[in-house]
A and B are shown apart, each in its own frame.
Chain A
Amino acid sequence: DAKTTQPNSMESNEEEPVHLPCNHSTISGTDYIHWYRQLPSQGPEYVIHGLTSNVNNRMASLAIAEDRKSSTLILHRATLRDAAVYYCILRVGTGANNLFFGTGTRLTVIP
């Protein structure tokens, strides 16, 4: 399985930006980087994904390093509702259509 490394936990103050890092040094050229999050007592939900260029959507931004060996999920203004476990996942280019979740980063948002 393609490997990602994330910090176990992070804290952020409410209304401040949050940068969640992910290392994926073994990424290959066709692998997409996906982010999902899991709110307490819920199933995971899609956040964002990208290949090479930075991506923005209504939930977050994804910044991908030039060598693609790392990426950062950016929440522009953390709210209490953003407290969740965030998973950085590589879609292996020719692999089956399933998600390999690591341990993720538990984000705590402090009011």
Chain B
Amino acid sequence: DSGVTQTPKHLITATGQRVTLRCSPRSGDLSVYWYQQSLDQGLQFLIHYYNGEERAKGNILERFSAQQFPDLHSELNLSSLELGDSALYFCASSRAGGWETQYFGPGTRLLVL
């Protein structure tokens, strides 16, 4: 158990819908990272938040957005969903904003029908 929690574990929705994925970092960790893992693209970095502020963006679509709240939990919002958005979404956390070890949650499996 990494100490990072993600909800929900599974999500099934339809094209065009909007969903919110939630992540709670390990106690004391200030950074949250989001990654997407699909069969054809592998594990891809989406976005990094540090202490409530966006630090870096990766291959995140404009239809996707994220935020980190004052209690440091984070949400990833996915809108206008397409079939290709079906994937595993992982959240990771680290102590600060540098290159400390990242601890990954168990992931949310999203299926868009």
Contacts and interface: CB of A to CB of B under 8 A. Distances in A.
Contacts of B101: 46, 49
A72 to B, nearest CB: 20
Interface of B: 2, 4, 31, 33, 35, 42-45, 48, 55-56, 58, 90, 92, 94, 97-99, 101-107
Contacts of B45: 98-100
Given A97-B31, A98-B33, A100-B45, A45 B104 contact: yes
Contacts, number: 58
Contact of B102 (A32, A46, A103): A46
- Chief secondary structure at chain B's binding surface: strand
B55 A44 contact: no
Given A45-B2, A96-B48, A96-B55, A101 B42 contact: yes
B74 to A, nearest CB: 14
B48 A43 contact: no
Contacts of B56: 96-98
Interface residues of A, number: 19
A91 interface: yes
A99 B102 contact: yes
Contacts of B106: 42-43
A104 B37 CA distance: 13
A100 B102 CA distance: 13
A43 B104 contact: yes
- Among A38, A44, A98, residue most surrounded by chain B Cβ atoms (within 10 Å): A98
B90 A43 contact: yes
Contacts of A91: 99
30 contacts: A38-B43, A42-B106, A43-B90, A43-B92, A43-B105, A43-B106, A44-B43, A44-B90, A45-B103, A45-B104, A46-B102, A49-B101, A87-B43, A91-B99, A96-B48, A96-B55, A96-B56, A96-B58, A97-B55, A97-B56, A97-B94, A97-B99, A98-B33, A98-B45, A98-B48, A98-B56, A101-B35, A101-B42, A101-B43, A102-B42
